[in-house]
Amino acid sequence: MFSSRKTVAGFLLLVCLMFAGATEAHAIPAFARKYGLRCSACHEAWPMLNQFGQKFKDNGYQLMNDRDAPIWQNPAYWPVTFRMTPIWHRVSTGRVAVDVNGGTNNSEARIETSGFDLSGLDFHTGGTLDKNISFYLLPSSDSTGTFHFETVMARLDNVFNSPWLNIKLGKFELDNLLSEKRILTLTGNGGIYQTYHFIPVGDGNIFGQIGDNQLGLEWLGHSANDRTRLSAALLSSSDGNTNLITGSNSYTGFFTGSQAFDTGRLGVQRVGFYAMVGQAATTYLTSGGVPIPGSGVGNKSFSREGFVGQFYFGPHFDLTVVTQHGSDNIYFGQGYGNASDPNNGTAFSDLPNNTPGTVLPPTARAPSWNGATFEAHYVYSPQLIFIGRYEVERMSQQALTTNASDLGDLESFTIGYRYMPIMTSRAGFAWHNEYNWMKTDGTGPNPGENLSASELLLGFDFAF
Amino acid sequence: METKIMKTSSLLLGAAGLLLMSAVSWGQMTAYQESQRLNMEAHVGKYTGHAKDAEGTYRRYCVGCHGVEGDGQGENAQWLDPMPRNFTLGQFKCRSTPSGTLPLDSDLYDSIGRGFDRSVMPPWNTLTNQEKVDLVAYVKHFSSKWTTEKAGDPFPIPPEPEVTADKIQQGQVLFQKLECWKCHGVEGRANGPSSDTLTDDQNRPIKPYNFAEGARQKCGSTDRDIYRIFMSGLDGTPMPSYIDNVKPEEAWELVFYLRTLQQKNAYNAKEKAIAKQLGLKPIDPNAPVPAAPAAPAAAPGGQQ
């Protein structure tokens, strides 16, 4: 009996091995279904774009053949992809203020949690309404199912048959070469680019976060092969929040430019710049002491600018570098600026309000800082990618001369890999494993204490 | 009972083993062929491409349609119309070489960078020049033809003459004489009497080119590209080569006339203006056909 069991088990193992060896890499759903291309055609590894995918996006999700208009699609085709990520993660956060012995926040502790969890749910729908008219809608929920509109935009492509004239209107991702919306990492701190969201300690300016989708109008121009790209956007200084909850007369400009070079077997290298220059309100009318959203005036200025480089070292290894110099007006540094909770639009009741006669502390200064993101990929194949990222933010001028010079300085380190065993032109599925560690200086419960947090995440990332 | 299970299991295991062994031996054979052909090179300008260097690029960008074996049977092929090219046949539409011959490496290189209108093959112009030349070598490695035959000699294309009303009218006469209208229609709208009956060499239905729709041809948009298509024919399709039947100056006249059938675009402003001045009307297929050069046979493999 034992022998027959072994034989059957051996046979089953053999069959399993044969099937295991037969898996292949394929494509991301929505556009892959339309054009019949593998995911790897547009994605270095899903969801990060490669050069061809960037060109496809820049052309308004068109291959620029005669099949771009939806009239060519099977009537049953519906350009929808949904994405969700069930995970197990372990989060460790140091120096959390805790209550002990009946007191309030009178002690600190390291909090470690672990367990199964969910990401939010994204419904991606996009494509063309007609040849050279594109759209993208992305209703997105948090893990509790509360939805908001992450992206809502329509775009006129190749106006006058020129790739140099593309106009986008709505809420959209800024033209960042290193796209946060296509980030390859998923942890709480590693799932965003810290450089794109850095705000000095106590600063009230949330409007300079270039990683957030913004409301506005964008012009994009590019050469036929996308080697040269230029864009300029006029945005409402609302950090993408609707209903003009902050100032109704404050705008931000965002400008990018980049040039790519053919370097033979090394690949295509790209260097570029970006600059965000804007103004946002600091003074609000109040009702019962609560700022009235939309009533903001007293615009103050801010800026973010930096260089971007995408460097390829053959078919497997690449490194992207993003630098940033940021500066905020002195009023932002003292906490003036945002009037509402960006998550729900609720007006803050305790917001510093730059009302007439406001006097800043004599030690106040305009905060400024420098930051950099280094992200490296080893692409073993389109199915398997290893990721490493290091981010560093350093204050160059604190908002108060009395602050420690390193207050708010930040370092973040992320490593991980994504293995996509099965990705068809109908669905994508990835096994994701990642670790992030982040430290911020001087932000602990007690003066001079640094905070650190780490997260280990394992999960299934899938899209259909 | 136990003996029965053992017997069945042994049989199944034996069958699986046989399958595995045959798969392994098949794999070894193709691996050998593969290793031989992966030495294939391509030369375009200053670049030398190596097939073995394009394996990753092909797998990333091309395999979904053209298939692992290059036979045009990728996983998405069943959904595509027209079907992806079968590289194992060594037969290509866009050539600067005579019908029935292999194309130049530069022809394949241009095709990769240009893409094909009226298909899902996009312009892969984001690839580096080196990657494209490597891909050319990789495309060639799929067919044994490249190991036994040389690419054809490119036929000369004389300088383009000045467009005149006379030349456009002569081109129209040629359009009728060569019976282009039978497939392409009297107005170039791909609705000639034969248009619904055409098949390619794989016996798949194929549509003639609609001149009235868009400005891009499959093998390029310039006047020289149209001249080249007309003279080389599109191998594997019913579009024949006219190089032996039409003189170069006549071919240019036909190019100028074909431009008048297109919608206004970046290439045909002069031709459209002259046609308007002439009040050029579509040909009457029932009118007496002038003495004309005999229409040639269909392109190799083509079924007209």
pLDDT digits (tens, 9 = 90+) for A338-368: 887 766 667 777 778 888 899 999 999 999 9
Q: Which of A11, A36, A66 sits opposite B80 (nearest CB)?
A: A36
List Cβ neighbours of B302 (8 Å cut-off, separation of 6 or more). Answer: B200, B201, B234, B235, B236, B237, B238, B239, B240
Nearest by Cα to A98 from A352, A445, A351: A445
B56/A265 Cβ within 8 A: no
Per-residue pLDDT tens digits for B26-77: 444 467 777 778 899 999 999 999 999 999 999 989 998 999 999 999 988 8
pLDDT at A32: 76
Confidence of residue A323 (pLDDT cuts 50, 70, 90): very high
- How far off is chain B from A312, nearest CA to CA, in Å? 12
Number of domain units in chain B: 2
SS3 for A286-336 is: EECCEECCCEEECCEEEEEEEEEEEEECCCCEEEEEEEEEEEECHHHHCCC
- Chain A residues with CB-CB distance to B17 below 8 A: 14
Same domain assignment for residues B93 and B176: no
The structural domains of chain A, with segments of one domain joined by +, span 24-463
What pLDDT does B21 receive? 46
Q: Are residues B188 and B139 in the same domain?
A: no
Residue B125 sits in the same domain as residue B202: no
pLDDT reported for residue A113: 95
The answer to which of A197-206, B262-271, B285-294 has the lowest mean pLDDT is B285-294
* pLDDT score at B221: 86
Angstrom CA distances, B221 to B207, B225, B294, stand at: 19, 6, 27
**Structural domain contains residue B256:** yes
Q: Is B2 contained in some domain? A: no
**pLDDT (0 to 100) of residue A338:** 85
Distance from the A160 Cα atom to the nearest Cα atom in chain B, whole angstroms: 12
pLDDT at B216 over 80: no
Residue B137 lies in a domain: yes
Please indicate, yes or no, whether residues B119 and B180 belong to a single structural domain of this protein.
no
Sort out which chain B residues have CB atoms less than 8 A from A56's CB and list them.
Answer: 122
Q: ipTM score of the complex?
A: 0.81
Q: Which residues of A touch B65 (CB under 8 A)?
A: 36-37
Residue B251 forms part of a structural domain: yes
Mutate to test the interface with A, among B76, B116, B130, B263 (most CBs of A within 10 A): B76
> Which residues of chain A have a CB within 8 Å of the CB of B27?
none
What local confidence, expressed as pLDDT, does residue B10 receive? 58
Q: Is residue A416's pLDDT more than 80?
A: yes
Predicted confidence (pLDDT) at residue B161 exceeds the cutoff of 90: yes
Q: Burial of A17 by CB count in 10 Å (0-12 exposed, 13-18 middle, 19+ buried)? A: exposed
Are residues B125 and B50 both part of a single domain? yes
> Which of the four pLDDT bands, split at 50, 70 and 90, describes residue A27?
very low
Q: Which pLDDT score is estimated for A135?
A: 95
Is B220 within the bounds of a domain?
yes
In a domain, B30, yes or no: no
Of A385-394, B30-39, B212-221, the range with the highest mean pLDDT is A385-394
- Rounded to a whole number of angstroms, the distance from the CA of A132 to the nearest CA of chain B is 14
Q: What confidence tier does A68 reach under pLDDT thresholds 50, 70, 90? A: confident
Nearest CA in chain B to A53: B126
Residue B297, pLDDT above cutoff 80: no
Residues in chain A closer than 8 A to B21 (CB atoms) = none
Per-position DSSP letters for A16-30, written without gaps between them: HHHHHTT------HH
Q: A24-463: CATH homologous superfamily?
A: Porin (2.40.160.10)
Indicate whether B109 and B181 sit together in one domain.
no
- Confidence (pLDDT) at B229: 93
**One domain for residues B88 and B178:** no
Q: Tokens at residue B2, please?
A: 């136990």
Q: Do residues A142 and A119 lie in contact, with contact meaning Cβ atoms separated by under 8 Å?
A: no
Measure in Å the smallest separation between the Cα of A74 and chain B Cα atoms.
10
Express as a percent the part of chain A with pLDDT over 70: 92
Q: What is the CATH number of the domain that holds B211?
A: 1.10.760.10
Structural domain includes residue B271 = yes
With H, G, I as helix, E, B as strand and everything else as coil, classify residue A423: strand
Share of chain A above pLDDT 90, in %: 65
Chain B CA closest to residue A56: B122
List of residues 6+ apart from A290 with CB closer than 8 A? A347, A348, A349
Query: For the residues A262-275, what does the mean pLDDT come to?
Result: 95
Q: What does the buried/exposed string (b/e) look like for A157-187 if buried means 16 or more CB atoms within 10 Å of the residue's CB?
A: bbeeeebeebebebbbbbbbbbbbbbbbbbb
The pLDDT of residue A436 is 98
Name which of A7, A51, A268 is nearest B13 (Cβ-Cβ). Answer: A7
Q: What pLDDT is attached to residue B299?
A: 55
Chain A residues whose CB is inside 8 A of the B20 CB are 14, 18
> Looking at residue A25, what is its pLDDT?
33
Q: Is the pLDDT of residue B238 over 90?
A: yes
Lowest mean pLDDT among A57-71, A384-398, B105-119, B231-245: A57-71
Report the alpha-carbon distance of residue B175 to residue B192 in Å, rounded.
Answer: 13
Q: What's the domain range around B96?
A: 41-148
CA distances in angstroms from B60 to A201, A382, A457, listed in the order given:
45, 7, 28
Q: Which of the listed residues B116, B148, B180 is the one where a domain comes to its end?
A: B148
* Per-residue tokens: B194: 């034969």
At residue B296 the predicted structure's pLDDT band, cuts being 50, 70 and 90, is low
Tell me which of A26-30, A168-172, A175-179 is least confident.
Answer: A26-30
User: What sections of B102-203 are H helices per DSSP?
Assistant: 105-114, 129-141, 145-148, 165-177, 181-184
